[in-house]
Structure 1
Amino acid sequence: MLDFTLEFDRFRLELGPCACIMGILNATPDSFSDGGQYNTLETALAQGRNLAKAGAHILDIGGESSRPFAQTVSEQEELDRVIPVIETLAREIDIPISIDTVKSRVAKEAINAGATIINDISAFEKDPAMADLAAEKKVPCVLMHMKGTPETMQVDPNYEDLMAEITTYLDSRAQFARGRGIARDKIILDPGIGFGKTIEHNLMILKHLNKICDLGYPVLIGPSRKSFIQAVLNKQETTPVGPDNIKTEYGTLAAVAASILKGAHIVRVHDVEKIISFTRIIDAIRHA
């Protein structure tokens, strides 16, 4: 695994020696796993504090669901959901906050409120002004592969060569970002588990994640509670396994382990406390 040092604002993250844990805070009513649990200011703030206390290295805050078939929300509604949360948590917790959005105005206001990372699932395609903002603010950015949009991505996704298409796309988006003035050491790549992929596609990405790592950028992976884990488990279960089932959490742990052993630098997860303990053992094995 290649090691990277991510320096920005007052933060310094060493990526590689130990798994970096990004805690998910969905300030939405309709996210696939925890929609509605943290869509008030009080519940969102409490969960953000809990994730930081549990040991998250990054807190990723989003105000628009990207689950399959999700509808877009207005810019103002997204701002109303995330800005008060970011403003408060940025004063209280000493870890970087990432804004999960495809809208440059939302990202700009989030950065003004205290966020220091942009997580764009469209890899700057939805709003090209996002690249200019990231370059101007000198913040790290996550560029993700997605086939289609959240509304369409799970309608018969297909590839001629899965890994070649994903790596080519991510490399091209990284080159686009660099061409807009974003430093190479501020770019993070995400293959987009569950975003326009079948069960088999997701499993192949985890199996061959090293091919994306070979592009020479830090790699983020987000397998937490994804439907492919539930689908694999449900093939041999007599009762349905949902996103909040403990068996799905075990499946998430397996996917996280595979990801780190294949070179992932950052894992984006819901249950930080469990993942922190788990990844410490994985890291110890890697460095034995």
Structure 2
Amino acid sequence: MQTGETSAGSVIRFRGRAMRRDRPLVMAIVNRTPDSFYDRGATYAADEAVAAAERALADGADIIDVGGVKAGPGADVDIDEETRRVVPFVARLRERFPEAVISVDTWRQEVGRLACEEGADLLNDTWAGADPGLAEVAAEYGAGYVCSHTGGAVPRTRPHRVNYPDVVADVITEVTDRAEALVKIGVPAEGLLIDPTHDFGKNTWHSLTLTRELGRLVDTGWPVLVALSNKDFVGESLDLPVDQRLYGTLAATAVCAWQGAAVFRAHNVAETCQALDMVSVIRGTRPPAHVIRGLV
């Protein structure tokens, strides 16, 4: 299956927006949180967040993913506060960048609904349907949706001695069953992504196995999103703090891209785009940008 295609062979689309096919898509992370594990609140303020989105698009991002709640444990963020952080910002992005694809990282239907009303194209449900109503929002608005796997973990919790007889098989069963169920309630098939959800409900060995065997997910025919960027499995593999994980992230990115992953969620957009461009040239899905060696 060519990168950028769904199981039916059609182009990935989010609310009618057809996505590129020459290389995997890059989803740029813009966190409207004061306590993000990576940037420590660098894009919490609205103006800084808009500037970060603009830089990401200039660097080659295909999707802007807006989050209003830190994934891990931390200060409580209720629905009203998440809405305050996310929804007006989505409206501002839609006005400023009318052609951009906007994703919202939330598990709450209330936030998802208001974000879709303001123009969000994709709902990135990283907590595996913790609120079943979020999928109904995607169906109502024709938005894209990310089907994730957490092994039953509830939002904002860390794994503790989790065990899977075959973590890849467990992921495949959960996310593909979820994708098929969402199609039945009206979520557009061309906007569905499946995500093994590295580190969520998993230890480092699990995340490494999912990286090494990602081709098994790709073989399901559903476009695969991977969120590898600066995660703990990279840090633990190399014994490095979060601000020194770029090279390890890019190595994992290349491995997943070679196996056919369709979307990469990333903090470091320019570097990720360059790595994916190179893998795509090697795979033959896009030509080299400038070739003169041995020809002139």
TM-score, with length taken from structure 2: 0.89
Alignment-derived partner of residue 244 in structure 1: 243
Preserved contact between residue 127 and residue 155 of structure 2 (Cα < 8 Å): no
d(CA) in 2 for partners of 1:11, 1:121: 22
Preserved contact between residue 55 and residue 273 of structure 1 (Cα < 8 Å): yes
Computed over aligned residues only, the root mean square deviation of the Cα atoms, in angstroms, reads 1.6
Matched ranges for 1:207-246 at <5 A? 207-234=212-239, 241-245=240-244
- Offset of residue 81 of structure 1: 0.6
Query: Secondary structure, in 3 states, of the residue corresponding to 2:20?
Result: strand
Cα deviation code 1:73-129 (max 9, x no counterpart): 201100111122211111122320001100111011111112111111123x22111
Q: Of 6, 15, 24, which residue of structure 1 is paired with 2:12?
A: 6
- Offset of residue 205 of structure 1: 0.3
Query: Secondary structure, in 3 states, of the residue corresponding to 1:268?
Result: strand
Give the partner amino acid of 1:170.
V
Q: Of 57, 68, 80, which residue of structure 2 is paired with 1:76?
A: 80
- Offset of residue 284 of structure 1: 0.3
Give the partner amino acid of 1:64.
V
Query: Secondary structure, in 3 states, of the residue corresponding to 2:243?
Result: coil
d(CA) in 1 for partners of 2:234, 2:27: 19
d(CA) in 2 for partners of 1:57, 1:183: 19
Preserved contact between residue 139 and residue 186 of structure 1 (Cα < 8 Å): yes
Alignment-derived partner of residue 294 in structure 2: none
Matched ranges for 1:153-172 at <5 A? 153-172=158-177
Preserved contact between residue 146 and residue 153 of structure 1 (Cα < 8 Å): no
Preserved contact between residue 71 and residue 151 of structure 1 (Cα < 8 Å): no
Give the partner amino acid of 1:276.
C
Matched ranges for 1:1-288 at <5 A? 1-3=1-3, 4=5, 5-9=11-15, 11-15=17-21, 17-67=22-72, 69-70=73-74, 72-93=76-97, 94-123=99-128, 125-147=129-151, 148-234=153-239, 241-245=240-244, 248-287=245-284
Preserved contact between residue 18 and residue 283 of structure 1 (Cα < 8 Å): yes
Preserved contact between residue 15 and residue 144 of structure 2 (Cα < 8 Å): no
d(CA) in 2 for partners of 1:8, 1:51: 19
Query: Secondary structure, in 3 states, of the residue corresponding to 2:12?
Result: strand
Give the partner amino acid of 1:166.
V
Give the partner amino acid of 1:152.
T
Cα–Cα, structure 1 residues 48 and 107, in superposed 2: closer, same or farther, change >3 Å? same
Give the partner amino acid of 2:249.
T
Preserved contact between residue 14 and residue 101 of structure 2 (Cα < 8 Å): no
Preserved contact between residue 49 and residue 89 of structure 1 (Cα < 8 Å): no
Cα deviation code 1:146-198 (max 9, x no counterpart): 12124434211211111111111111111221222223222110000110111
d(CA) in 1 for partners of 2:14, 2:163: 38
Preserved contact between residue 130 and residue 155 of structure 2 (Cα < 8 Å): no
d(CA) in 1 for partners of 2:263, 2:95: 24
- Offset of residue 257 of structure 1: 0.2
Preserved contact between residue 26 and residue 35 of structure 1 (Cα < 8 Å): no
d(CA) in 2 for partners of 1:11, 1:181: 17
Q: Percent identity?
A: 32
Preserved contact between residue 23 and residue 58 of structure 1 (Cα < 8 Å): yes
d(CA) in 2 for partners of 1:163, 1:50: 35
Where does the alignment leave 5 or more consecutive residues of structure 2 unmatched?
6-10, 286-296
- Offset of residue 35 of structure 1: 3.0
d(CA) in 2 for partners of 1:222, 1:2: 20
Report the more deviating stretch, 128-137 or 53-62: 128-137
Alignment-derived partner of residue 237 in structure 1: none
Cα–Cα, structure 1 residues 157 and 70, in superposed 2: closer, same or farther, change >3 Å? farther
- Offset of residue 37 of structure 1: 1.1
